[in-house]
Amino acid sequence: MIEITTPEVSWIAILPELVLALGAVGVLLVEVQWKPATRVLGAISAITLVIAIFFTFLQWAQAGDALEVGGLDELVAFSGMIVMDGFAVFGRFVLLVMAGLGLLAGWRLVERLNRRGAEAIALVLLATTGFSIMVASNNLVMMFLGLEIGSISLYILAGLTEEKTKADEAAMKYFLLGSFASAIFIYGVALLYAGTGQLEILAIRQFFTEFIVTRPAVILIGLALIIVGLGFKVSAAPFHSWAPDVYQGAPSGVVGYMAAMAKIAGFLAMARILLTAVPQLDDSWLPVIAGISALSMLVGSTIALVQSDVRRLLAYSGVAHAGFILTGIVGGATTGMLFYVTVYAIQLIGAFAVVAVVSGPSSSGSSIDEYRGLARRSPALGAAFAVLLLGMAGLPLTSGFVAKFGVFSEAWANGYGWLVIVALLASVISFAFYLRVIVAMYMDETEEEGIVVSLAARWVLTIAVAGTVLAGILPAPLIDLAADAFSL
C-alpha cells in the first residue's frame, strides 16, 4: 500500500485572504438565496473584514516570534509562494482597514445599486483579496495573480452604476490601460525568469549574491518592464494618463477605494521587488526610479494647477504623491514609504468620500464650482475636506508633513539631494492647488442649501480626519510599527 504523506500547510499565512474570499462568496450566495436588506450584507462584509484583521494580528505575533528565534524559513509558506514577514502583514492590515473605510464611503452607492449592491460588496472584498495576496507573495507569478484578481475586480467596480453615466468610458479606459500594464508586468517577470531561472523573490536575491551576471541585458529589460507595469498601476508619470479619466468617470463612491488599493499594493510590490529581490542591481534601477519620481512630482503638481474638476485635481495630486512615495524607495528603506502610503490612503478615501457626498455617489465628474461655498452649506463637511487637503499638501501638524519628512530625509541620506530639492519645490507648488479648493469652499458665496451627510460618510470622515491629525501630532506609534515591518 502506498502511503501518501500530506504536506504540512501553514494555513495561517493565507487566512485573511481565505476569510475575504469566503466572505465575498457568502455575500453573493446570501443575496441570491434570501434577498436580504442591504444592511445584512453590510454586516456580513463588516464581520468578514473584522475576522480578517484579527488574523493579521495573529500573523504579526507569529512573524515576530519567528524573527526572535531566527526561524526565517517559517515565514515562507506554500512552497515559497507566500511570505509572512512584517512587511506583508502590515500591508495586509492597511489594505483591510482601507477596504472597511472604502465600503463605508461607498455605502450610499451600494444602497442605490439596490439588488446589485451585493455585487459591489463582493467585488470590494475580492479586490482586497487580490491586492492582499499581491503584497504577501514571494513568487512573481503569485504576485501577478494577486494583481489581476485585484485589478479585474476594480475594472468592474469602475463601471458599476445604476445611472447612465460616463462610468462605462472610465471602465473601458481603465480596463484597456490596466491590462496593458499587467501584460507589460508579466512580460518583465518572464524576462527576469529567463535571465535568472528563478521566479521566487528570495531566490532571485540569492541568485544575485551568488553569481555575477556578465550580460545582464535581459534581466535589466525585464526589471524595466516590471517597473513600467507597476508604475502604471500606481499612476506614476509618464504612465499616469489613465488616472484622471478614470477618477473623473468612475462612480465617486468607489474611486477613493480603487485608487487607494491599487496604490498601496503597487508600491508595496515595487518595494518588495526592488529592495528585496534585486538590491544588488541598484546602480541600474535607482536612477530610473529617481527620474520617474522627479517627473511624477513635477508633472502631477503642475498639471493639477490648471484642473477645473476636483476629481482630476485629486488624480494629478495622486501622480505627485506617487512621486513623493517613490522618493521613499529611492531612500532605500521601507519605513517612510509604508507610513506615507498608509496616511495618503486614508486621506484619499476621505477626500473621495467628500466628493461622493457633494456630487452624489454614482456621478461622473465634480466641477470645482460645486464646491463653492461648501463651508457655508455644511461647515463640518467643508472643515473635514480642508483638513484632508491640507494633510495631502503636507502642512505641519498633519500626517502628510510627517510622511513627507520621513521619505525626504531617507532619500537625502541616500545621496539623492537633488531629488529632495525637486520634491520640496513640488510640495510648494502643490499647496497652490489644494488652497484653490479650500478658498473656493470658504471664500465664495453660494445660494445652494445645506447638504445632508449620511451616517456612513460621517464615520469615514471622522476616522480620516482623526487619522490625519493624530498621525501628524503623534506619529511615533505608526512609525514604530512601520519600522518593525521590514521585508525579509
Query: Phi, psi (5° rounding) for residue 160?
Result: -90, 95
Total site size for another protein, rule CB under 8 A: 41
Whether the ω angle into residue 251 lies within 30 degrees of 0, i.e. cis, is: no
Taking CB under 8 A as the rule, does residue 141 contact another protein? yes
Beta bridge mates, 200: 139
Taking CB under 8 A as the rule, does residue 137 contact another protein? no
Closer residue to another protein, CB minimum distance, 179 or 409: 179
Closer residue to another protein, CB minimum distance, 66 or 172: 172
Choices 147-155, 292-300, 319-327, 439-447 (CB under 8 A): range interacting with another protein: 147-155
Choices 18-26, 48-56, 152-160, 208-216 (CB under 8 A): range interacting with another protein: 152-160
Taking CB under 8 A as the rule, does residue 475 contact another protein? no
Q: How far is the CB of 255 from another protein (least distance, A)?
A: 13
- State the chain's maximal CA–CA distance in angstroms: 85
Q: How far is CA 290 from CA 122, 224, 270, 284, 320, in A?
A: 38, 13, 14, 11, 13
Q: Is 265 left (phi over 0), alpha (psi -120 to 50) or beta?
A: alpha
Q: In angstroms, rounded to a whole number, what is the distance separating the alpha carbons of residues 416 and 419?
A: 5
Quick one: cell of 295?
517627473
Taking CB under 8 A as the rule, does residue 474 contact another protein? no
Give the burial string for 407-416 (b: 16+ CB within 10 Å, else e): bbebbbebeb
Considering only 172, 213, 380, 469, the residue that binds another protein (CB under 8 A) is 172
Q: In angstroms, rounded to a whole number, what is the distance separating the alpha carbons of residues 304 and 311?
A: 10
Sign of CA dihedral 453, 400, 314, 447: positive
Site string for another protein, 435-464 (x = CB under 8 A): ------------------------------
Taking CB under 8 A as the rule, does residue 481 contact another protein? no
Taking CB under 8 A as the rule, does residue 182 contact another protein? yes
Q: Are 299 and 318 in contact (CB under 8 A)?
A: no
Choices 48-56, 178-186, 321-329, 386-394 (CB under 8 A): range interacting with another protein: 178-186
Choices 14-22, 107-115, 143-151, 369-377 (CB under 8 A): range interacting with another protein: 143-151
Q: Are 463 and 101 in contact (CB under 8 A)?
A: yes
Give the burial string for 57-76 (b: 16+ CB within 10 Å, else e): eebbebbeebbeeeeeebbb
Choices 28-36, 98-106, 108-116, 158-166 (CB under 8 A): range interacting with another protein: 158-166
Taking CB under 8 A as the rule, does residue 376 contact another protein? no
Q: Are 231 and 294 in contact (CB under 8 A)?
A: no
Site string for another protein, 193-232 (x = CB under 8 A): xx--x-x---------------------------------
Q: How far is the CB of 242 from another protein (least distance, A)?
A: 10
Considering only 176, 421, 432, 439, the residue that binds another protein (CB under 8 A) is 176
Residues at the site binding another protein, with contacts judged by CB under 8 A: 141, 144-145, 148, 152, 155-156, 159, 164, 166, 168-173, 175-176, 179-180, 182-184, 186-187, 190-191, 193-194, 197, 199, 244-245, 248-249, 307-309, 312, 364-365
